[in-house]
A and B are shown apart, each in its own frame.
Chain A
Amino acid sequence: MFRWGRGNLAPSILAMRSFLRRREWEGWLYILPYLLLWGTFIAWPVGYGIYLSLFDWNPIRGSRYVGLANYVALFDDERFLNALTNTFKFVTMVVPLTLTVALTFALLLWFWRGSKILSNLAQAVFFSPYLLTVSVIAITWRWFFDPDFGIVTAFCKTFHLACPKFLADPLWALPIIAFATVWWLVGYRMIVFQAALGDIPQELFEVAKIDGVPFCQQFIRIILPLIKPSLLFSLVLTLISAFRTFGQVLMMTGGGPGRASEVLALYLYWNAFEYFRIGRAAAAGVVLLGLTLVLTLLGVKLLGLKSELQ
């Protein structure tokens, strides 16, 4: 006997029916505006960027597919390798320092038993540089470290100390930019850590106090394990933003002196919008993407973002 049931229907028709009946389309309808914007301005440009990196871009004679030639040229380019090295140097300076200072501030304010007004003020002040635009950060520190009329130079002169030319000195340029970046970014991470510290049950410390556990032990055994998620979150965030550093460098040194402080994003910017080597710039972008992707996967693994989906 013929039965009009599930088994007789082609799966696709079944899916179609359930799509129409169970109002599956409703879910899609709600994400549609976001998805359109996301697809146009986030997903598509990344795909097109990878595509462009495989071409010798030329608007007059027409672009030509060159395979991986742009990447080969990139790794043959001493300037690119220099930018890559500088980026890594910058990251190794900025990331540990930012996290350490942020954690120190957070702990300081958390253990603070003095006046509430003062600790609120401190929180606001430590956070405030994060609100400033990158241009303001660059202007502030450029002026601060001005080799002729800057306050640091004046300070050195008062005490008759030998004073380097700071941003005009190849040895000092990158560390000073890193220093300015730390000053800029610390506030945000501090708040993240403060939130994490606030979630630690207070009883743990009371017990530790009764048992006479010294502070460094408390720090290693209680605080660090319990704020680990926030620590990793900040680590990934800081790593990525340090790899992408652009504005500070452009405005503080322009990559100089020479190319002593040229980083990847700046290299990409010059190539794309000064020399119009679009293919090569796109390839540099893909390298940056690769670096970030590796870090992200690492971060997702460490953070266990997947568990968030349940």
Chain B
Amino acid sequence: MKTIKSMIQNGWLIIMILLWVFPSAWVALTAFKSIQEIFTIPITIFPSRPTLYHFERLFSTWPFNRWLLNSLFLASFVTVISLMVCTLAAYSFARLNWRGRDVLFLIILASMFLPMEVSIVPLYFMTIHFKLFNTLYGAALPIIPLPIGVFLLRQFFLNIPKDLEDAARIDGCSSWGVLRHVILPNSLPVLAAYGVYIFNYAWNEFLWSLICLRDPKKVTLPVGLRLIQGAFELDYGLINAAAFMASIPTLLVFIILRRHIIRGIALSSGIKG
């Protein structure tokens, strides 16, 4: 009796999993079908004769590798710089005393909810003025000071026992020494979590990259996909192959870092009421 019940339960979950994954699987399956097969009715689920034709076309007609590198560079640059500046700022907000600290923190916290849409026109003018337009740096810089980073790291730093810091101070540590020898070694989980979060954020950023990057050789993956779709709207084989290729890196990273990513989200929502 019990086994039947658990079998039904398992069955339900498996059906849900299949339904949820099906749209993605459908893209992957389409990418390996020949053009004739894609446009045949009735539809075949599995490619009858799997082909790499679309992938060959993708890599020969579009600078797909270049887009991949651009995305990788943008996301890494954003992650490294953001981790550095956010750590310094969060340390100051959590552990140092200075006038106006809490007010400034509240202002930065509130800016977490500002929509980027209101800034894209000013950012457009600004990047042109500073000769950053159509460069990856121009696309990257506005994503770096993500307020949620400061918030997240500060939360964590606040919970590191004060005794550790006092001991370090007695041993003659400066504030920099405290950060280096007390705070950082104790915050590796949250740094990893935020690192993964911002990397994913930068990797997927669309609106600003679409505006800032105009040269087809300089765009990131999400914008590159838009270019392909804009050029060959009905070439579903090519489009699906591109979408498939663009998703592989993130999904691979997710499979490797699953625990960190999920922990990062749990942390980022850790507002205790």
Contact = CB atoms under 8 A, between A and B. Distances in A.
Interface centre among A123, A139, A272 (most CB of B within 10 A): A139
Given A46-B119, A136-B243, A128 B9 contact: no
Interface centre among B24, B102, B126, B258 (most CB of A within 10 A): B24
Contacts of A141: 23
Interface footprint category on B: 35 or more
A128 B117 contact: no
B42 to A, nearest CB: 7
A229 B243 contact: no
B13 A119 contact: yes
Contacts of B173: none
Given A42-B111, A191-B265, A183 B23 contact: yes
Contact of A118 (B10, B106, B124, B255): B10
Contact of A296 (B39, B113, B118): B113
Contacts of B16: 108, 122
A212 interface: no
B74 interface: no
Interface in B101-142: 101-102, 104-106, 108-111, 113-126, 141-142
Contacts of A255: none
**Interface of chain A, main secondary structure:** helix
Contact of A285 (B84, B121, B239, B242): B121
Given A136-B225, A146-B236, A118 B117 contact: no
Contacts of B262: 123, 127, 191
A229 B273 contact: yes
B21 A49 contact: no
Given A136-B246, A265-B117, A34 B26 contact: no
Contact of A128 (B21, B126, B272): B21
Interface string B73-99: 000000000001110110111001111
B113 A240 contact: yes
Interface residues of A, number: 105
A139 B240 contact: yes
Contact of A31 (B6, B89, B114, B223): B89
Contacts of B223: 135
A48 interface: yes
Contacts of B27: 136, 139-140, 143
B270 A195 contact: yes
A68 B26 CA distance: 50
A42 B145 contact: yes
Interface stretch (A69-77, A202-210, A243-251): A243-251
A145 to B, nearest CB: 10
A227 B83 CA distance: 30
Contacts of B255: 124
B206 to A, nearest CB: 4
B89 A35 contact: yes
Given A30-B91, A30-B92, A234-B269, A132 B247 contact: yes
Contacts of A250: 226
**Interface of chain B, main secondary structure:** helix
Contacts of B147: 38, 42
Given A132-B250, A188-B265, A195-B270, A31 B116 contact: no
Nearest to B45: A151
Contact of B121 (A52, A293, A304): A52
Interface string B14-28: 101100110110110
Interface of B: 6, 9-10, 13-14, 16-17, 20-21, 23-24, 26-27, 30, 38-39, 41-43, 84-86, 88-89, 91-93, 96-99, 101-102, 104-106, 108-111, 113-126, 141-142, 144-145, 147, 150, 155, 175, 200, 203-204, 206-207, 211, 221-223, 225-226, 229, 236, 239-240, 242-243, 246-247, 250-251, 254-255, 258, 262, 265-266, 269-273
29 contacts: A19-B99, A24-B98, A27-B97, A37-B141, A41-B142, A41-B144, A42-B142, A108-B16, A125-B17, A129-B20, A131-B200, A132-B247, A135-B221, A139-B27, A139-B243, A140-B243, A143-B239, A191-B262, A194-B266, A232-B273, A233-B269, A246-B117, A250-B226, A251-B226, A272-B121, A272-B124, A282-B122, A292-B114, A296-B113
Interface of A: 15, 19, 23-24, 26-31, 33-35, 37-38, 40-46, 48-50, 52, 108, 112, 114-115, 118-119, 121-129, 131-136, 138-141, 143-144, 146, 149, 151, 154, 157-158, 183, 188, 191-192, 194-196, 228-230, 232-234, 236, 240, 243-244, 246-247, 250-251, 264-265, 268-269, 272-273, 278, 281-282, 285-286, 288-289, 292-293, 295-296, 299-300, 303-306, 308-309
